[in-house]
Copies of this chain bind each other. A is one copy, B any other.
Amino acid sequence: MDALVLSARRKGSPVVVGLDPDPRHLPPEMHGLPEAEAAREFCLGVLEATAPEAAAVKLQSAYFERLGAPGAVLYAELLRAAADLDLPTIADVKRGDIGPVAAAYAEAHLSVYGATSVTVNPYMGADAVVPFLDEARRVGAGGGAFVLVATSNPSAAELQNSSEPPLYEAAARLVAGLGRPGETGYPDAGAVVGATRPEVGWGVRELLPDALFLAPGYGAQRGDAANVRALLDARGAGVLVNSSRGILRAFEGTETGYKDAARAATRRMRADLEAAGVRA
């Protein structure tokens, strides 16, 4: 995860900007454009506006898949545009499948499309995770895989906390056993740990004291900077904090253009995290 950590330090920002172009939440100037074109304008605009404030960009695959083949073209273009802005990328694909299929997914997102890192689902065990780490090591771009451990959604606990020991502990142990540390000391296997359940996050940090966390749920999902603190490592760092809706929809209900609103929201989030003692 060196590419992500070094970018966060260089920018002095742990903020990850999530690009989830939801067609129901586009700025008025894009109404009437063909969907893929509207998504393209919007994402490129947000990317450019927020790049100076962000450590990385996360693309939510679903919103590109629903655009069909033009969505695949756009997904590739945005990954290239982020790279041109010197921003590492996270392909938020949450794939999880048997070994050979995981290898095909890893090749797709880390090589063909060229994202720096990916998100991965561990339901199937190590088989489903290792091919992503292998591919990231082969590519050598300082990326890795964030494995879902404790997610931020309302029904997360249904499976993740339904047994003894809880599933999130088994997932955390899986992550601990698979990563290899890079030059920054962070292993290339990271964890997705929501900022919405600090008591769970604290437990996951105990099991993964050295790992880089990707924390979704800030803003729209009611995670806040105080909750992110529960996820920090011993150095007061080790967490990249994603916001998607809080940045993309910042223009709604205001007179501000979407780019200015997105930039201002990203700045506020960065300041808020800094004030809470979250280091990049």
Contact = CB atoms under 8 A, between A and B. Distances in A.
Contact of A122 (B63, B99, B122, B159): B159
Residue with the highest number of chain B CB atoms closer than 10 Å, among A62, A63, A67, A76: A62
A207 interface: no
Contacts of A163: 163-167, 170
Given A72-B69, A96-B121, A123-B123, A164 B162 contact: no
Residue with the highest number of chain B CB atoms closer than 10 Å, among A99, A104, A221: A104
A97 B73 CA distance: 22
A146 interface: no
A105 interface: yes
B101 A127 contact: no
Contacts of A73: 69
Total copies of this chain within the assembly: 2
Contact of A151 (B71, B94, B123): B123
Nearest to A221: B98
Contact of A159 (B68, B76, B95, B170): B170
A62 B104 contact: yes
A53 interface: no
Nearest to A70: B69
A20 interface: yes
A216 to B, nearest CB: 8
Contact of A105 (B65, B101, B109): B65
A155 B124 contact: yes
A220 to B, nearest CB: 10
B158 A68 contact: no
Interface string A123-137: 111111000000000
B170 A20 contact: no
Contacts of A34: none
Contacts of A171: 159
Interface string A148-183: 100111111111101111110011001000000000
Contact of A128 (B112, B124, B155, B167): B155
Given A60-B104, A69-B73, A98-B151, 18 more contacts: A20-B101, A62-B102, A63-B104, A65-B104, A69-B69, A69-B72, A99-B153, A99-B154, A122-B123, A122-B159, A124-B148, A127-B153, A127-B155, A159-B171, A162-B167, A163-B164, A163-B165, A164-B164
